[in-house]
Structure formats: structure tokens, C-alpha cells
Structure 1
Amino acid sequence: MTSSSSSPSALKQSLRREALRLRRGLSDRLGPAAAQAVAAWGDRLSVGTGSVIGGYWPLPGELDPRPLMEALAARGAALALPEVTAPDAPLAFRGWSPGDRLEPGPHGTAHPTPAAPRLIPTLLLVPLLAFDAKGFRLGFGGGYYDRTLDALRRGDGVVAVGLAFAAQQSPALPSEPWDQPLDMILTEEGLLTVVRA
């Protein structure tokens, strides 16, 4: 049991282990079916020609965004995948289409080649370990998506959509001043729009 006096960072670290175990089990049971269900719910997202979808290449256990990305591309959106350029920098995004060659990146990731154009997402699909109704998410702790959302929100703006299995929802997650909340969460059960006070 974690003490109520623990810092948010310590609480997050404790929650990560359990959330990772839960997500692995959900992925084993629901993986491809959940990815297809999420893609079907994608018609609720406002995208079309001129939209740039910043997706991700799934790591083991993550909900696979590729069926959703392909469905959004069929509606005229351009697709992009993230690239880690430096440990403390926001993610950069390069154009990607299904079948394009990818290069290995840090932390087991894969990203487009340097020849692919840099794009700025208007809608960002965000992987996670857990989420709550306020839009806060638990990630691996590297801060990449918080830095990226902060940078994109200082520019022309972005809609941040977490992708998760519905059972990854937590009653409440600890948050810190730099945590960037999501605007929506899309699960196999539907789309949750975050309402902020």
C-alpha cells in the first residue's frame, strides 16, 4: 500500500507496474478485436483533408493504432509517426503510409526514414498505461508526450486522443504541473470526451 504522503512521481512509479501488467493481459485477450473496434469509433473524430494524424508504431501490449490510422487516412488525413530526436526534446513527426520502410529507434520504437517529410500533427494519438476521466494519463515516465503536447499546444494547437482498452481507466491518477491532459480517450467501448472545470 502506498502512503498518502508519497509524491506524485513515487505514486506513478508504483502504479506503472500494475498498469503494465493489466495492459498486457488486456492486449492478449482483446488486441486485434479492440483495435478494429477503436477504428470503427474513429468516425466520431473530426478529421479530413488537411488533417495530419500523429500516430505511433505500437510496442508490445499497446493498443494497435494502425487500423484507426488507415481509416482516418481513407477520409483524407495524412499520417505521421513520431521520432525521438533527443532525450529531453519533444517528439518530431515524419510522414508515413502503410508499407513505408521504418528504422529502429530508441526504447524499441520504429520511425520513418530521414527522407520522409516532417509534419506537424493536428490530431495526436497517444499510447498509455492508464487514464482517468480528467484526461490525465500514465505513461512510461520519459515525458516525451508531455513535452510534445506542450510544444504543439503553444503552436497552432492539437487534439490529443489517448488510445486504450476501456479497462485501463483509473478512478484518478496523480498529476504534476507538467502533465498534459488528453482531450479525448478512444477505447473499444467508445469515445470519452474530457470535460475540464
Structure 2
Amino acid sequence: MTKDGTYASPPCMAAEVDPAYFDPLGVDPGQARDVARWRRAERARLTGLREGLGRAGRAQVSDRIAGYLGRVLATRGVRRGCVLSGYWPIKGEPDLRPTFADLHRAGVTVALPVVENRAAPLVFRRWTPETKLVRGDWNIPVPPPGANVLVPDFALAPCLGWTDDCYRLGWGGGYFDRTLAVLTPRPITIGIALNAARLPTIFPQPHDIPLDLILTEDGVAATRPD
């Protein structure tokens, strides 16, 4: 960094000088490649962190998050007739399916996200505990094509990593960001994460959209700044 506070190195290398630096409007190709490489490495590290908990540890985390989630949803106004998008857990993600079943019994309409086109936003198909699921993208079980398509009032998003300003590091497909960019009105979005998966930054790109809050096994860990 120079005396006047500017960076002497090119933007794609600035994060190596100051890890907190990132230009959210930058579209420098070199910078984008650096960020992509960094995210791939972080995904591998955070996946290992999750796997290291073991089955019992992951189950305990899921139960603790579920306990907090019920209170958060009530505070945020989830009630009978609301539409909540959940997710089917993969790769050790917190398993909240019992909570989704409880919400269904309480009159909340539950949906699951579905990739119908890899270049398009997600769609949300209605789910009930009796729904016969089919294999979707990544072999994730999803409601069948005949299920009702809904627009969620609330949406849960599993996070590999998260930041204090509510940015989410996911698997890298970009589906959730593409979806939030077009949903009107935008749902209240809740990231589901491990407390230990907190990151100083994900070096946000122009397409990254922050969530409204992050929920971990220790409760609400972050809320998006107004």
C-alpha cells in the first residue's frame, strides 16, 4: 500500500497485501480467477471441517440449529399459510427435515428448491412428508415435476462458509444468487451454517447477494446490515 492509501499492486493481487481488501465493483479477470481459486480451496477446507464432526457431531449440530430455527421463524412471522423453502441435506449439511415435517403439520407450506435448468434460477416445488421424491440435479431428491410451483416467503440456504455481513459461500453453482436476483418480492433468507465456518470475507463478486441472517448451532450469528 502506498502512502496515500492506494494499492501499488494490481487489483487481483491486492488481497494478498491486505486480506480485507476487495473491490465489489471490480471485474478484473485476474482478480476473478484468484477469488475462484481461493473459494475452491475454502470449500475443500470447510467440507473437511464438517466431515470431521462425524455422524454424531453433525446430528447434534442439526438438533441445536433446529431448536433455534423454530424461535427465529416465529419471531420473523412464519405462520400457517406462509411458504418456506427448505433444502434436502447433502454432504453433511445440517439435517432439518424433522423441522420441515413439524412446520407442515403446523400449516406452513414447505417447498424444496429444484434445478430445472442449470443456467436459470431455481424453482420451488411443494413438499410434504408424503411426497414421493425423484432424483434431481446432483442426484438430490426433489419433488416431482407435477408438484405445485411456489414463491417462498422465507428461504433457508445451507452455507459452507459465512461472513459477518451475511455473505454465503456455497457449492459454487450460483443458483441461489441467480434466484434471489429475480424473486419479487424477495423472501427473507436464512443461512444455515456451522459456527466454526465463519470467514472474514468471501471477497464478494458483483453477482453475490447477502442473506438476511446466518443461523448456527449457537444461535443467530449474523444479521445483514440495513
TM-score w.r.t. the length of structure 1 is 0.90
Residue 217 of structure 2 is aligned with which of 169, 183, 188?
188
Residue 4 of structure 1 is aligned with which of 16, 25, 30?
16
AA of the residue aligned to 1:80: A
Aligned to 2:164: 133
Residue 26 of structure 1 is aligned with which of 46, 53, 70?
53
Q: Specify the structure having the higher radius of gyration (Cα).
A: 2
After superposition, residues 1-197 of structure 1 pair within 5 angstroms as: 4=16, 7-26=34-53, 28-42=55-69, 43-45=71-73, 46=76, 47-152=78-183, 155-196=184-225
| Moved >4 Å (runs of 4+) | none
Structure 2: how far apart are the matches of 1:131 and 1:84?
A: 23
Structure 1: how far apart are the matches of 2:221 and 2:98?
A: 19
RMSD of the alignment, in Å? Answer: 1.9
AA of the residue aligned to 1:4: E
TM-aligned CA distance change 1:192 to 1:71, over 3 Å:
farther
- Bigger shift: residues 41-50 or 28-37: 28-37
Give the percent of matched residue pairs that are identical in Structure 1 and Structure 2. Answer: 35
TM-score w.r.t. the length of structure 2 is 0.79
Structure 2: how far apart are the matches of 1:148 and 1:92?
A: 8
Residue pair 2:191, 2:211 contacting (<8 A) in 1 also: yes
- Bigger shift: residues 36-45 or 94-103: 36-45
Residue pair 1:126, 1:161 contacting (<8 A) in 2 also: yes
AA of the residue aligned to 1:196: P
- Bigger shift: residues 91-100 or 18-27: 18-27
Aligned to 2:7: none
- Bigger shift: residues 17-26 or 174-183: 17-26
Q: CA deviation at 1:96?
A: 0.5
Q: CA deviation at 1:27?
A: 5.3
Give ranges in structure 1 of 5+ residues lacking alignment: none
- Bigger shift: residues 170-179 or 83-92: 170-179
Structure 1: how far apart are the matches of 2:129 and 2:217?
A: 22
Structure 2: how far apart are the matches of 1:67 and 1:37?
A: 13
Q: CA deviation at 1:173?
A: 2.0
Tell me: higher relative CO, structure 1 or 2? Use CA pairs within 8 A at least 6 residues apart: 1
Residue pair 1:36, 1:67 contacting (<8 A) in 2 also: no
